[in-house]
Amino acid sequence: MSTLETQGLGKVYGDFVALAPTDLKVEKGEFLTLLGPSGSGKTTLLSLIAGLAEADSGRILMNDRNVTHAAPYQRDIGMMFQNYALFPHMTIAENIAFPLKMRGTPAAEIRRLVQEALDMVRLPHIADRFPKELSGGQQQRVALARCTIYRPSVILMDEPLGALDKKLRDQMQFEILRIHKEIGGTIVYVTHDQEEAMTMSDRICLMNGGRIAQLGSPADLYFRPQSLFVADFLGEANLLEGRLVSGADGEGVVRLGDASEIRVTLPRPLGHGAAVKVMLRPQNIRLEDTPGEGLNARLRSWSVTGASTKFFLDAPALGSEPLIATRATAMSAHTPEPGRDYRLSFDPRDAVAIPADEAA
Amino acid sequence: MTAIPAPAATRRPMSRRSKQLLMAAPMVLLLVTFLIYPSAQLFLLSFQKGGGFSLENYQRLLGTPVYLTVMMLTLKISVVTTIFAVIAGYPVAYLISILPKAKKGRILFWILLSFWTSFLVRAFAWIILLGRNGVVNKLLQTLGISDAPIALMYNFSAVVIGMVHALLPLAVLTMLSVMENIDRNLTRAASTLGAKPGMAFWKIYFPLSFPGVTSGALMVFVTAIGFFIFPALLGGRRETMITQIIIEQIIQTMNWGFASAVAVLLLVVVLLVFVLYDRAVGLSTMTGESSARKGRPGRKGIFSRIGDAILTGLGHASDAIIGLFPRRRAREGAPRPLVGFVTALLAVMTLPVLLMIPLSFAESGLNWPPQGFTLKWYQQIFDSPIWMSALTRSLVVGFSTAVLALLIGTPVAFLMVRGKMRGKTALLAFTLMPVVMPNMILSVGLFYLYAKIGLVGTNLGLIIGHTVIAVPYVVLTVMSVLRNYDTRLDLAAQSLGATPIRTLRLVTLPIIGAGMISAFLFAFTISFDELTIALFTSGGMSATLPKQLWDEVSLSISPLLAAVSTCLFLFVTALIVAVGLLNRRQK
């Protein structure tokens, strides 16, 4: 039984399709991330699940109960807002107690649970302070305590870490995962940060233009993108144009622009002669010092970007766009001269053929 | 390093401190000379009788039953007005705060139109409306509720109706400034946490909007307590308010000492209200900046617990009532009953003045319904040297006031927003003094001062007086414009080689220009509508338009006055529309 399910759920604002009819199942205890650029429909989907917007089509089921037209307070949800939405006129304890009071929990029980929740988010001594007196990270933890204290079956998070700086964000990611494990709830998380999504999620629902582009585990999306959009959105990708010459059992051969042929992986069957783009991640390209058989390229420039060094290469097989390859940055590596030639090699499992005519 | 010194380095720059002094000096000088000094004079006068120190004025004031009755009635009218204006205004402000931008502007336009239409014009509209043959009486007869005209005017209710109508826009605008700063996600968050709509409103939204309610009440009360137009025109013999006594004492008996004592009493009451307010709520809430309680850890007092219990009760009660009705599917728009109420209220706010317009073209006098069409009243205005000279004077004084207020107020606004200095709060409080102090006190004080230095009946006297009351509005308007201005643009211009003066001329002013014109038009409108100062310091052939209108209204009600009021109203409407268009173009 899935905790949360949408069936053909859609939302339209005038002429703008914010969310095309969408089917989605979230399993109990799962951490699912809605990822996508702004305007991709991820926030619309979240608002519909929360009951903050009204669906134009389809149904929402929670624990098999139809809640499509239920008000937010009638759904079994908790929500963490981007700006925390702590009530400024209430103390921290009152903020966290609010959902319990709304549910008529006895006062003594409330006191106990609030203290427990504060301990859980590691802020045991701030019960009587006001939200204004807390740092951003502390407010974040309080918001987390407030939306989990009544153990809702689905917890929705709308870019909760968007306002924090990098270091604090990493800490809070860990914190959210810890609490997710501790209370075992189901989480639907919205973000536009792919790294955050890859780190935290059991599954990622990547959205684009109001629909689901691909749904799967982070590794699925990263290594087996089914469209150019997915390949391009998650991580850096070189996209080599070509035509499928032969293919069977998930493997195939692609002929590139200069008639050279490479072996590739086919995530799904494609017809012979189909126009494809071959995705090659920069870190999966090996630069052999001695040019020879296969793909050759000439170094245009290079730069150290931190842990890795980026090489920009020109290859006749690839057209005008430079090919990007990375190497781990190391002092010992000699400084290459622009203009020198390399032979490119890679594992065919890392070269993924994607249909080229599909809308991005 | 540089061989050629930069040109600025050759001249010794003025120290920051003296620059700041120079920017604030004109306004400080203006307010000290024409607000504080005259008020202090009145204060001294109130303790004098026959050239020496005496408490006789106060003994007479506090020892005469008639005056005590007037004081009690003044308080009663002000309190009742405040309660009605705040309660009726709250839903309006709430609706405006939750509407999307485009619709917000439409409602705000009607509120601003009422706000800027002069009290005198609106009082006059009520006279026509509530008269023996007015719209209301005709309507009651048509509906069969009454057979003969009822006396709707010259009583307590008429005064309160007029005053609530006059001050509702002020209540709405003050409350709105707080409500606009309430995060809408908070009630949504409450909803996801399990609060029903009624509970979410009373436990979350209402407490957060409460500073707006109190500051709205404060503004309405201190304005109401200084009113004289409505009791004088709509009230009966018994509905006399405290400022009317001041007018009577000055104009009829020239009893400066006694009039001053009444003025001092009025000021004491106003200040007392402010002090009490500050104790109870804190004046800082007036700016709409902090909508949260000051953080003080520890246990809560008995009052906040009782308050909390009351709000919880209200929440349950509201949800029970809401539960009786079927739930609407479209949750996203504003609740329909609220929209209905606000629409009706806006109609009531605007209609009285609009109904006056057809009467100004009617041949049938001021009786409803209007019959025939004539321009003769307008013709009479244009043929009358008295009205035309009043119109000219109002335009000249208004224009001069706006220029002067802008010249004096703008540097202060720059100082308040950009300057790094201590005592900004004090300077702002000082700037706002003319708003807080009842205009009647300022007017009497100016009259006394002008009488000594020969400014009575002169345009200059009027311009100075009007500038005193217009400057705070200019400062506030320009401040809000400057707050929205990205100062990095200035730095960018200067880094590209522009001197500070050229930066101001080529970058800053073109961008904030629309805001400056708004400030100019506000100042103009304030002067153009102003009656109290003109009441004392102009007269006869030197009257302004409102003063002339006031004199005539006091004598007799004629369709000619409906025509004058219509002109005034249309003129202000044009100004408000102009400001609105300017602001829209700016965005």
Judge whether B29 lies within some domain: yes
Residue B140: CB atoms within 10 A of its CB come to: 16
The CA distance from B180 to B182, in Å, is 6
Task: State the pLDDT at residue A92.
Answer: 95
Please name the residue of chain A whose CA is at the shortest distance from the CA of residue B209: A89
A78, A164: one domain: yes
Q: Nearest-CA residue of chain A relative to B186?
A: A85
Residue B295 to residue A129, Cβ atoms within 8 A: yes
Asked if residue A258 lies in contact with residue A317, where contact means CB atoms within 8 angstroms, the answer is yes
Cα(B119)–Cα(B114) distance, integer angstroms: 9
A-chain CB neighbours of B191 within 8 Å are: 51-52, 71-73
| A309: three-class secondary structure by DSSP | strand
Q: How far is B212 from chain A (nearest CA, A)?
A: 14
Question: Domain range spanning residue B200?
Answer: 69-237+335-373
Count of A-B CB contacts under 8 Å: 86
For residue A253, give the amino acid letter.
V
What are the structure tokens assigned to B200, written together?
């979410």
B196, part of any domain: yes
For residues A176 and A256, membership in a common domain is answered with no
Task: Tell me, yes or no, whether A117 lies in a domain.
Answer: yes
Q: Which residues of A touch B292 (CB under 8 A)?
A: 88-89, 130-132
Cβ neighbours of A130 in B, within 8 Å? 292-293, 295
Residues of A in Cβ contact (< 8 Å) with B181:
none
Query: Which of A165, A188, A223 delimits the end of a domain?
Result: A223
In a domain, B210, yes or no: yes
Q: DSSP string covering B240-290, please?
A: --HHHHHHHHHHTT--HHHHHHHHHHHHHHHHHHHHHHHHHT-GGGGGT--
Q: Which of A213, A216, A224 is nearest to A42 (CA)?
A: A213
Answer whether A103 sits within 8 Å of B194, measured CB to CB.
yes
Sequence-ordered list of residues with C-beta below 8 angstroms from that of B157, at least 6 positions apart, any chain: none
Co-location of B38 and B135 in the same domain = no
Cis ω on the peptide bond leading into residue B369 (within 30° of 0)? yes
pLDDT at B296: 46
Is the Cβ of B316 closer than 8 Å to some Cβ of chain A?
Answer: no
DSSP-derived 3-state class of residue B52: strand
Q: Does residue B260 form part of some domain?
A: no
Residues A61 and A202 occupy one common structural domain: yes
Least CB-CB distance to B330: which of A54, A79, A102? A54
Query: What's the pLDDT at B291?
Result: 39
A351 located within any domain: yes
The predicted pLDDT at position A128 comes to 92
Residue B354 has which token pair? 């609009």
Domain end point (choices B352, B373, B394):
B373
Burial tier of B427 (Cβ tally within 10 Å: 0-12, 13-18, 19+) = buried
Task: Specify the pLDDT at position B460.
Answer: 93
Both A188 and A267 in a single domain?
no
Distance of CA B114 to the CA centre of its chain: 11
Same domain for A167 and A24: yes
Residue B529 and residue B461 share a domain = yes
Q: What is the pLDDT of residue B442?
A: 93
What is the per-residue burial (b if ≥16 Cβ within 10 Å, else e) of B6-25?
eeeeeeeeeeeeeebeebbe
Angstrom distance (rounded) from CA B241 to CA B246: 9
Residue A298 within a domain = yes
SS3 state at B407: helix
Residue A165 and residue A119 share a domain: yes
Are B383 and B450 in the same domain? yes
Position A198 in a domain: yes
Q: Please answer yes or no on whether A73 and B208 come within 8 Å at the CB atom.
A: no
Can you give chain A as a three-state secondary structure string?
A: CEEEEEEEEEEEECCEEEEEEEEEEEECCCEEEEECCCCCCHHHHHHHHHCCCCCCEEEEEECCEECCCCCHHHCCEEEECCCCCCCCCCCHHHHHHHHHHHCCCCHHHHHHHHHHHHHHCCCCCCCCCCHHHCCHHHHHHHHHHHHHCCCCCEEEEECCCCCCCHHHHHHHHHHHHHHHHHHCCEEEEEECCHHHHHHHCCEEEEEECCEEEEEECHHHHHHCCCCHHHHHHCCCCEEEEEEEEEEECCEEEEEECCCCEEEEECCCCCCCCCEEEEEECHHHCEEECCCCCCEEEEEEEEEECCCEEEEEEECHHHCCCCEEEEEECCCCCCCCCCCCEEEEECCHHHEEEEECCCCC
Same-domain check for residues A268 and A292: yes
Question: In this structure, are B136 and B106 located in the same domain?
Answer: yes
Q: Among residues A165, A195, A223, which one ends one of the domains?
A: A223
Q: Say if B161 is an interface residue toward chain A (CB within 8 Å).
A: no
Per the domain annotation, does B258 fall within a domain?
no
Indicate if B353 and B460 belong to the same structural domain.
no
Residue A360 lies in a domain: no
Distance from the Cα of B294 to chain A's closest Cα (Å) equals: 8
- Do A214 and A103 belong together in one domain? yes
Q: One digit per residue, pLDDT tens: chain B, 587 residues?
A: 445 444 444 456 678 788 888 899 999 999 999 999 999 999 999 998 877 888 999 999 988 999 999 999 999 999 999 999 999 999 999 999 988 888 888 899 899 899 888 899 999 999 988 888 888 888 888 888 888 888 888 889 999 999 999 999 999 999 998 999 899 899 999 999 999 999 999 999 999 999 899 999 999 999 999 999 999 999 988 889 999 999 999 888 888 999 999 999 999 999 999 888 888 877 665 544 443 444 444 445 777 778 888 898 999 898 888 888 776 555 566 788 899 999 999 999 999 889 889 889 988 778 878 888 889 999 999 999 999 999 999 999 999 999 999 999 999 998 988 888 788 888 888 999 998 889 999 999 999 999 999 888 899 999 999 999 999 999 999 998 888 888 888 888 888 888 888 888 888 888 888 888 889 988 999 999 899 999 988 766 688 999 999 999 888 888 889 999 998 899 888 988 888 887 776 65
d(CA B119, CA A153): 59
Q: What is the pLDDT of residues A308-319, one digit of tens each?
A: 888 899 887 777
β-sheet bridge partners, residue A203 = A32
Residues A153 and A257 in one domain: no
Rounded distance between C-alpha atoms, residue A84 and residue A161, angstroms: 9
**B134 & B163 share domain:** yes
Q: For helices B509-529 and B545-555, give the axis angle rounded to 10 degrees.
A: 30
Q: Is B329 on the interface with A (CB under 8 A)?
A: yes
**Domain for residue A337, yes or no?**
yes
Give A15's DSSP letter. Answer: T
From A184, A201, A223, the end of a domain falls on: A223
Chain A positions in Cβ-Cβ contact with residue B331 (cut-off 8 Å): 51, 54, 71
CA distance B296 to chain A (A): 7
Which residue in chain A is spatially nearest to B206 when comparing CA positions? A89
Sequential DSSP letters for A318-343: G-SSPEEEEEE--TTSPPPPTT-EEE
Residue B325 lies in a domain: no
**Do B452 and B538 fall within a single domain?**
yes
Residue reference for tokens 């998650």: A234
Q: How far apart are CA B223 and CA B35, in angstroms?
A: 18
Examine residue A152 and say whether the peptide bond preceding it is cis (omega within 30 degrees of 0). no
Please give the pLDDT value at position B18: 85
A50 contacts B192? CB cut-off 8 A: yes
For residues B379 and B387, the answer to whether their CB atoms sit within 8 Å is: no
Report the number of distinct structural domains present in chain B: 2
Is B185–A85 a contact, with Cβ atoms under 8 angstroms apart?
A: yes
CB contact under 8 Å between B188 and A81, yes or no, is yes
Return the ∠ at Cα A160 (arms to B296 and A94), rounded to 5°: 30
Q: What is the CATH number of the domain that holds B200?
A: 1.10.3720.10
Structure-block tokens of residue B67: 């005056």
Domain enclosing residue A322, as ranges: 236-355
DSSP code, position A282: G
Q: Does B314 fall in a domain?
A: no
Query: Which amino acid, one-letter code, is at B6?
Result: A
Same domain, B32 and B157: no
pLDDT surpassing 70 at residue A343: yes
Q: How far is A220 from chain B (nearest CA, A)?
A: 33
Say yes or no to pLDDT of A82 above 80: yes
* Whether the Cβ atoms of residue A89 and residue A46 lie closer than 8 Å to each other: no
Phi, psi of B269 (to 5 degrees): -60, -45
Joined tokens for residue B182: 């309430």
> What's the whole-model pTM score?
0.85
Q: Are residues A245 and A188 located together in one domain of the fold?
A: no
For A209-263, the pLDDT digits (tens) are 999 999 999 999 998 898 889 998 988 888 888 889 888 888 889 988 777 888 9
Q: Are A319 and A241 within 8 A, CB to CB? A: yes
Q: Which residues of B touch A89 (CB under 8 A)?
A: 207-208, 291-293
What confidence tier does A50 reach under pLDDT thresholds 50, 70, 90?
A: very high
Residue A150: list chain B partners with CB under 8 A: 193-194
Same domain, yes or no, for B481 and B362?
Answer: no
Residue A358's pLDDT is what?
59
Q: Are A216 and A286 in a shared domain? A: no
Q: Are residues B115 and B218 in the same domain?
A: yes
Q: How distant is the alpha carbon of residue B355 from its chain centre?
A: 23
CATH code at position A194: 3.40.50.300
Q: What percent of chain A has pLDDT over 70?
A: 98
Q: Could you say which DSSP state residue B327 is in? A: P
- Same domain for B369 and B379, yes or no, is no
Q: Are A52 and A72 in contact (CB under 8 A)?
A: yes
Pick the last residue of a domain from B350, B373, B396. B373
Report the distance separating Cα A63 and Cα A54, nearest Å: 20
CA distance A345 to B540: 101
- B407 in a structural domain: yes
Query: Are the Cβ atoms of A99 and B193 closer than 8 angstroms?
Result: yes
Domain count, chain A: 2
CB contact B193 to A (< 8 Å): yes
- Residues A144, A278: one domain? no
CA angle B576, B581, B583 (to 5 degrees): 95
A chain contacts of residue B293, beta-carbon cutoff 8 Å: 88-89, 130
Q: Are residues B362 and B429 in the same domain?
A: no
In a domain, A230, yes or no: no
Q: Cβ of B362 under 8 Å from any chain A Cβ?
A: no
The complex's ipTM? 0.83
CATH number at residue A259: 2.40.50.140
**Contact criterion met (CB < 8 Å) for A53 and B332:** yes
CA distance A128 to B418: 36
